[in-house]
Amino acid sequence: MSTTAPEGRGSTTAGLKVVGVAIRREPWIFTLSTLGSVLFGALTVADAWVLGWATDEVVLPAFRTGETDTAMLWAVLALFVGVAILRAVGIVARRLGAGIMQYRMQARTRRAVTRQYLRLPLEWHQRHPTGQLLSNANADVEAAWSPIAPLPMAVGTLAMMAIAVVQMLLADLVLAVVGILVFPAVLLVNVVYQRRAQGWATQAQRLRAELSEVAHESFDGAMVVKTLGREGEETARFEAKARELRETNIRVGRIRAGFDPVLAALPSLGVLVVLTVGVSRVLSGATAAGDVVTVAYLLTIVSFPIRSLGWVLGEFPRSVVGYERVRAVLDATGEMSYGDAVVPASAAGAGVRLEVDDLVHHHHADRPLLRGVDFTVEPGRSVALVGATASGKSTLTSLLTRLVDPRAGAVRVDGVDLRDLAPGELARTIAVVPQSAFLFDDTVRGNVTLGLDVDDDAVWAALRTAQADGFVSALPDGLDARLGERGTSLSGGQRQRISLARALVRRPRLLVLDDATSAVDPEVEARILGALRDGTAPGGGAEATTLVVVAYRKATIALADEVLHLDDGVVADRGPHAALLRRSPSYAALVNAYEDDRAEPAAQGVGAP
């Protein structure tokens, strides 16, 4: 690992801007906590005045006369107790306000980041690793608002310093000048610390995201890691990144370890200098003993609050880095815009008319994945998308369900452009079932409904159409059976059927299946697609759900009313399956090749029930 500090920049100005954002968003809570801190600071200075007054009016006269004034002792005690109570009130207000302000800012920012994740298109998420996104929403948010906790105390410290300086000047001008020299020394130490810590703090935040990414990949690919015996390599990969993060954090800690003692020592050194100068001035008659005690005590009591100012400045490097990483997410462009249109009402369960108009799509400046794709699916009809790998099938399904928006062209349902639909309207009209079925660590009912308010009869109807009611009934707890993380208690085909039931229970008017029955037995698949095509699925009415299916099996393709043969991002041919077999050698070769590839494993009994 490099021993040279990463390049950093001064963070005081940037840190103050971050703090300013928090103050503008939570002005009343900040005002409350700051007033509490100012009260604490003022009463702390008052303690010094009481001590100095008691020294001159009670302690020294007692030494001179050998007698004590009981009334004066009670007055001193009352002053100290009163100051202590009011100071406690200030502490409570300061700490309570700072805590509320910090946690509210963290919660507000996490919600904003999460909402932005939901707004940003799938393309943006594909360019940003999951570990980085988790780090942005957690570690970076916490780092961004870390200075808020000591902030009110630091502001109160500034008030305390101002009051203390006035008090010291009133007590003794020379001693005040000596004591005041502590303050610029503290600021100088903070500037040096920030310049040294900024680069390492930036690198530590980056490494946290990378470590989270490595961990997420290892957990997500647990089956690959275990079956290929890669546990040692994955452990070593995680260990290397963790060691790099540890070394970076240690470097930040070493810098901080040198900063804190110096910051703590400066006020103490100032007290020693004040006492040294003060003794000579008392002996020369230039000042009173009570004034020396006042100035020395003021430096003593402000030494700890001065450190809170250092804590705020010391948190600035982490805060600035965290805030910039969060702002990069919040300022990201490409979030999807919505209109206020709705899909025209129709008979219950009736499919929509799907129009795909001259679609063009590509990633960045790459060669287009789809070029001039144009077709229409009438309500209740079914179309199969058939094509070789990288022909654009999955890209087209993403456009049909508006996971991404096309670069040109449009997708319309019942004449309405998907981009003009109101938020949530698309999910009420269209459902997509991907090839990789994702199930939650929840019950069968919870995985099918995902919070949708439907009764068990509707759930069972969806399961029957998906040909999943048989194995669900056989589970010990039926709909209440827990499926484990990612549905590990089920086979691949069973997971796909639960995922299909999840879409069907919502009674979509357009159903997009992206090879969603690839792990299902062909006979079972035929029954599923037959029910979808005939309108016997949940919600089926006079017209069945409009169906778009990415298919490979001949039996599946033959069930579709029409086939679109995609080749290199364009519609090479279209029409009924039998007609395409007769007139298109490339289509026939493709379909027969898929059938031949699947025939041997099927003959050997490979496949999920």
Summarised one tens digit per residue, pLDDT across range 550-595 is 877 777 787 778 888 888 878 888 888 888 888 888 878 887 776 6
Q: What is the 3-state secondary structure (H, E, C) of 466-527?
A: CCCHHHHHHCCCHHHCECCHHHCCCCHHHHHHHHHHHHHCCCCCEEEEECCCCCCCHHHHHH
Confidence of residue 604 (pLDDT cuts 50, 70, 90): very low
What is the number of other CB atoms lying within 10 angstroms of the CB of residue 100? 16
187 compared with 545, residue with greater pLDDT: 545
Classify residue 507 as left (phi > 0), alpha (psi -120 to 50) or beta. left
User: DSSP letter string over 242-282?
Assistant: HHHHHHHHHHHHHHHHHHHHHHHHHHHHHHHHHHHHHHHHH
Least confident piece of the model among 99-108, 124-133, 305-314, 350-359: 305-314
* Cβ atoms 519, 485 nearer than 8 A: no
7 confidence band (pLDDT: 50, 70, 90):
very low
DSSP 8-class letter at 58: I
The residues with which 412 forms a beta bridge, in sequence order, are 355, 417
pLDDT tier at 8 (50, 70, 90 boundaries)?
very low
Q: Topology of domain 382-603, per CATH?
A: Rossmann fold (3.40.50)
- As a whole-number percent, the residues of the chain with pLDDT over 70 amount to 78
Residue 222 above 80 pLDDT?
Answer: no
Q: How far apart are the first and last CA of the chain?
A: 52
Report residue 114's pLDDT band, with 50, 70 and 90 as the boundaries.
Answer: confident
pLDDT at res. 349? 56
Q: What letter would DSSP give residue 541?
A: -
Q: Are 514 and 550 in contact (CB under 8 A)?
A: yes
On average, the pLDDT of the chain sits at 75
Predicted local confidence at residue 403, as pLDDT:
80
Residues 442, 568: Cα–Cα separation, whole Å: 40
Whether the predicted pLDDT of 98 surpasses 50: yes
Residue 86: its pLDDT value, please? 76
Higher pLDDT, 423 or 167: 423
pLDDT score recorded for residue 272: 77
More confident residue, 67 or 558: 558
Per-residue pLDDT reduced to its tens digit, 330-387: 887 766 677 778 877 765 557 788 888 887 877 655 667 788 888 888 888 888 888 8
Radius of gyration in angstroms for the set of CA atoms belonging to the chain, rounded to a whole number: 36
User: Which candidate, 91, 86, 80, places its Cα nearest to that of 297?
Assistant: 80
Return the exposure string of 227-249: e unless at least 16 CB atoms fall within 10 Å of the residue's CB, then b.
eeeeeeebeeeeeebeebbebbb
Q: Give yes or no for residue 513 having a pLDDT over 50.
A: yes
Interior angle at CA 453, CA 448 and CA 456, nearest 5: 60
6 band by pLDDT with thresholds 50, 70 and 90: very low
Residue 62 has pLDDT above 80, yes or no: no
DSSP label at 443?
B
Q: Are strands 408-413 and 370-377 parallel, antiparallel or unpaired?
A: unpaired
Which amino acid is it at 464?
A: R
The neighbour count for residue 581, using CB atoms within 10 Å, is: 18
Phi first, then psi, for residue 550 (nearest 5°) are -80, 120
Domain ranges of the chain: 12-330, 382-603
At the fourth CATH level, the homologous superfamily of domain 12-330 is ABC transporter type 1, transmembrane domain (1.20.1560.10)
Mean pLDDT value across residues 163-177: 73
pLDDT at 310: 64
What type of residue sits at position 231? E
Residue 606, pLDDT score: 42
Residue 221 has pLDDT above 50, yes or no: yes
Q: What is the pLDDT of residue 483?
A: 76
pLDDT of residue 557: 80
In this prediction, residue 517 has a pLDDT band, given cuts at 50, 70 and 90, of low
Kindly state the helix (H) or strand (E) to which residue 89 belongs, with its residue range. helix 70-119
Element (H, E) at 574: strand 570-575
**pLDDT of the residue at 601:** 46
Structure-token pair, residue 304: 């700890």
- Which residues on neighbouring strands pair with residue 563, listed in sequence order? 384, 575
- Model confidence at 305, pLDDT cuts 50, 70, 90, reads low
Task: Answer whether 391's CB lies under 8 Å from 548's CB.
Answer: no
pLDDT for position 475? 80
> Does residue 528 register a pLDDT over 50?
yes
What is the average per-residue pLDDT within 49-77?
A: 70
117-150 pLDDT tens trace: 877 777 677 677 776 777 778 878 887 887 777 7
Write down the pLDDT at residue 533.
66
> Residue 3 pLDDT > 70, yes or no?
no
- Look at residue 602 in the predicted model and tell me its pLDDT: 46
How much is the pLDDT for 227? 63
- pLDDT, tens digit (0-9, with 9 covering 90-100), for 433-461: 877 777 777 788 888 888 778 888 888 88
578's tokens: 């039998």
Closest CA to 136 of 381, 339, 332: 332
Residue 548 one-letter amino acid: V
- What does each C-alpha distance from 184 to 190, 196, 221, 522 come to in angstroms? 10, 19, 55, 80
pLDDT (0 to 100) of residue 540: 47
pLDDT of residue 364: 59
Give the three-state DSSP class for 427.
Answer: helix
The CA distance from 466 to 527, in Å, is 9
| pLDDT value at 499 more than 70 | yes
What is the reported pTM?
0.60
Q: Which pLDDT value is given to residue 40?
A: 76
Structure tokens at 162: 């101002």
| pLDDT tens-digit series, residues 400-411 | 888 877 878 888
Q: Phi/psi at 412 (nearest 5 deg)? A: -125, 145
Structure token pair of residue 287: 């000042």
Length reported for the chain: 609
Residue 492 CA to residue 609 CA, distance in Å, equals 8
